[in-house]
Amino acid sequence: MSHSTSIPTSSITSPSQNSTFHGQCFSMTDLVTLDPSSMATIPRHQIVVSSSYGFDETLQRLRDAIAAAELWIIHEIDPQALLRKGGISTIRLRQLLWFHPRYMARLLLTDPGAVPEAPFKFVVSEQAAGVTVCALNPILVFSPYPRLFGLAHELFDATERMLETVSTMPVSGGDI
């Protein structure tokens, strides 16, 4: 049985693009009008917290937390800018991909099958209700790899500490 929750998301609008829904053709603007309070599913393997800070400060605090944990930002993706190039307007959105070679070496030595699970990332989004941060729960991500139990808990602890720099919400999932 899968446990999930839903949170509100902001709408995406695109000029003159059409979609088919239940056999009817709608522009993206029409779809937003039909369901302005669309909800995002939060699967059990994701951790979502509300940030106590604005979008830019949340990003900077996470960057600083990644560095303080002696981890590396592998890449920063700006989906909002990419969507804008396609003529789509959306909420503020950023992805921070993070990891470290010491963890990759442990994956390769312990269970190379787990390499596709790395790197981890934070997804920061700004919506009407505020800024949220989403991350994958390393314990659940690595659950198919029993030899990575210790590493999964170590990465969960690091994820939790980094999320605590932007939110006072408790992070659950470390006791799985």
CATH number of the domain enclosing 79: 3.30.310.70
pTM beyond cutoff 0.85 = no
**Phi, psi for 124 (deg, rounded to 5):** -105, 125
CA distance 18 to 26: 5
- Average pLDDT on 146-152 reads 97
Query: What whole-number percentage of the chain has pLDDT above 70?
Result: 75
114 domain residue, yes or no: yes
Structural domains in the chain (count): 1
- 129 part of a folded domain: yes
Closest residue by Cα to residue 173 from 148, 156, 158: 156
| pLDDT per position as a tens digit, 34-57 | 233 556 777 788 999 999 999 999
pLDDT in tens, 52-94: 999 999 999 999 999 999 999 999 999 989 988 888 888 899 9
111 within a domain of the structure (yes/no): yes
Q: Residue 37 falls within a domain, yes or no?
A: no
Pair of tokens at residue 165: 């720099």
Q: Tell me what pLDDT residue 44 has.
A: 85
Does 11 reside within a domain?
no
pLDDT at position 24 is 53
Q: Cα 30 from chain centroid?
A: 27
The domain containing residue 68 runs over which residues?
42-163
Q: Report if residue 1 sits inside a domain.
A: no
29 part of a folded domain: no
Using a 10 angstrom Cβ sphere, with 0-12 exposed, 13-18 middle and 19 or more buried, the burial of residue 124 is buried
Whole-number Å distance between alpha carbons of 132 and 73 = 19
35 Cβ contact partners less than 8 Å away, ≥ 6 residues apart:
none
